[in-house]
């Protein structure tokens, strides 16, 4: 047959199977969303305390992460339905399928500046979720934070400036950051 027959090398299934495998792998490893109502209730008592600005950042980061996780899940499930024939394939779905087959971070997902491929970036997403989970578990200010793992690193820096300005009775607009590079590589060294 001209189109490659049923299952020969020219068939569409040879392209779709790796994409289906990637969809399944990503969905299986996709972290659950943060329960924002519960988090907001728990955070309420901390917001008026000295670490309030940090709590605001934590809640904002969880909301942004939920948006990304929802977008990833929705688009992967839609693509899976499209490949199964239960949903019409859209241009967005075709682009997602192409990105998955090339191991590229899909352009339709939240733009995360990175040179990493899809699987490496997805692993980073799970690490970012882990960082947020440990932060909101107790709402204690982390001893160390992966700034690049935040959607808005500047909001965390601003929170640090706000807390310090309040503690010392200084004007926020007069605050600056000073950075010292250390040789520490592990949280246990801090």
pLDDT digits (tens, 9 = 90+) for 41-81: 999 999 999 999 999 999 999 999 999 999 999 999 999 99
Using DSSP's 3-state secondary structure scheme, residue 34 falls into coil
User: Of residues 115 and 10, which shows the higher confidence score?
Assistant: 115
pLDDT band at 1 (very low <50, low <70, confident <90, very high): very low
pLDDT average, residue stretch 91-119: 89
Which position has the token pair 């600005």? 53
Are residues 136 and 66 in contact, defined by beta-carbon separation less than 8 angstroms? no
pTM for this model (two decimals): 0.85
Structure tokens at 132: 């947020």
pLDDT score for 143: 87
CB–CB of 34/136 below 8 Å? yes
Q: How far apart are CA 39 and CA 137, in angstroms?
A: 9
Output 33 or 190, whichever has higher pLDDT.
Answer: 33
């Amino acid at each position: 047959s001209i189109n490659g027959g049923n299952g020969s090398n020219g068939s569409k299934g040879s392209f779709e199977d790796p994409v289906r495998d990637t969809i399944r792998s990503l969905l299986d490893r996709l972290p659950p969303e943060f329960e924002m109502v519960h988090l907001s209730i728990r955070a309420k008592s901390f917001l008026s305390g000295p670490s309030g600005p940090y709590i605001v950042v934590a809640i904002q980061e969880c909301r942004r992460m939920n948006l990304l996780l929802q977008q990833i899940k929705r688009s992967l499930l839609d693509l899976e339905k499209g490949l199964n024939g239960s949903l019409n394939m859209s241009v967005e779905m075709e682009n997602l399928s192409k990105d998955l087959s090339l191991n590229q971070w899909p352009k339709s997902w939240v733009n995360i500046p990175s040179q990493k491929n899809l699987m490496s970036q997805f692993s980073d997403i799970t690490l970012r979720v882990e960082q947020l989970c440990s932060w909101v578990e107790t709402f204690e200010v982390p001893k160390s934070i992966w700034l690049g793992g935040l959607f808005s690193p500047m909001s965390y820096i601003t929170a640090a400036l706000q807390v310090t300005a309040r503690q010392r009775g200084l004007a926020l607009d007069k605050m600056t950051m000073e950075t010292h590079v250390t040789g520490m590589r592990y949280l246990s060294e801090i």
